[in-house]
Structure 1
Amino acid sequence: MRFTVPLSAAKNYFLGFVTSGIFLVSGLYFFSAEENQDNAPISFSENLEGGNLTSKKVHLSEFNPNDLNEEQWIHLGFSERQVATILKYKSVVGGSFNSKEQLKKCYAISEEKYNELAPYFVLPNSPKKSTSFQNFSNYTPRKSSNQYSNNYNKGLSIPGKFNPDSYSITDFINLGFTEKQAVSILKYKNYLGGSFISKEKFKECYIINEENYRKLAPYLLLPESSSENKFDKKSFASNAPLSEKPTITYSPFNPNTTNLEGWKNLGFSEKQAQVIINYRDKNLKGSFKSLEDIARCFVISAEKFEQIKPYIILNSENTNSKSSDHSPVNSNNSQQNQSVKSNNNAETKTDFKKTDLNEITFKQLIEFGFDEKSAASLIGFRNKLGGFVNTKQIIDTYNIDKDLAETLISTAFLFTENVPKYTLMDAPESWLKNHPYFKYYADKIIYYRITFSNEKKFFRTMNIKPEAEQKMRLYLK
Structure 2
Amino acid sequence: MERRRFTREELYGLIAILLVILLIVILLKLYRNEETTPANNQVQTSLQDLSNFEEQLKKDSLAWVRQHPHWSSEKFTTKLFPFDPNTASYETFMALGFAPWQARNALKYRSKGGRWKSVEHFSHLYGLRTKDFERLRPYIIIHQDSNECTQSKRDSIRRTHVEKYAPGTKIDINEADTNALKKIPGIGAYYAGKIVRYRERLGGFVSKQQLKEIDGLPDNVEQWFFIEKFIPNQIHINKVSFKQLIRHPYFNYEQTKAIINHIRLNGPIKNWEELRFLGVFTKNELDRLFPYISFS
TM superposition score normalised by structure 2: 0.30
**With structure 1 as the length reference, what TM-score do the two structures score?**
0.21
Q: Which has the higher contact order (CA 8 A, sep 6+)?
A: 2
More helix by share: 2
Instruction: Please tell me whether Structure 1 or Structure 2 has the larger radius of gyration of its CA atoms.
Output: 1
